[in-house]
Amino acid sequence: MFQTTFALKTNDKIEVIDITKKIEEIVRKSKIEDGCCHIFLPHATAGIILNENEKGLMEDYVKWLKEFFPKKEWKHNLIDNNAEAHLMSAFIGQSILIPIKKNKLVRGTWQDILFIEFDGPRSTRKVFVQIHAII
């Protein structure tokens, strides 16, 4: 088993960041040939998806999230005014699992690993990566 954590800095309220290369580098370093890569965010106002990093689509994700979760009078907004960010995170999810074969992530051509900030900017977002070997 191999574990590591890395940090991200976000600059916008809602922002999509491609972390594919970083995850691929971690998989290489793990030297694990066959297994699975679990990527987990210890956050309740961020999310992770497997989808295409195409310039227009990267903007569409942000537009879609804003339209899908409009500013409303959610009860949590009375506490710290970020209910929409929590709801986006609950909907999108904070963890993904990707198979590893011959020390490489098994993913489709258009499946990039995208971290999504829902309540930025934040100086330190953490990404926890755990790689399990199949024995």
Residue numbers of the site for Zn ion (CB under 5 A)? 80, 82
Q: Cβ of residue 72: shortest distance to Zn ion, in angstroms?
A: 14
Q: Is the Cβ of residue 112 or residue 117 nearer to Zn ion in the bound state?
A: 117
Strand positions, DSSP E, the chain = 2-8, 15-18, 35-40, 46-51, 95-101, 104-105, 112-117, 125-133
Q: Cβ of residue 97: shortest distance to Zn ion, in angstroms?
A: 27
Q: Is the Cβ of residue 31 or residue 126 nearer to Zn ion in the bound state?
A: 126
Q: Cβ of residue 77: shortest distance to Zn ion, in angstroms?
A: 9
Q: Is the Cβ of residue 109 or residue 124 nearer to Zn ion in the bound state?
A: 124
Using CA atoms, how far residue 75 sits from 1, 46, 56, in Å, is: 42, 19, 33
Distance, in Å, from the CA atom of 10 to the CA atom of 3, rounded to the nearest integer, reads 23
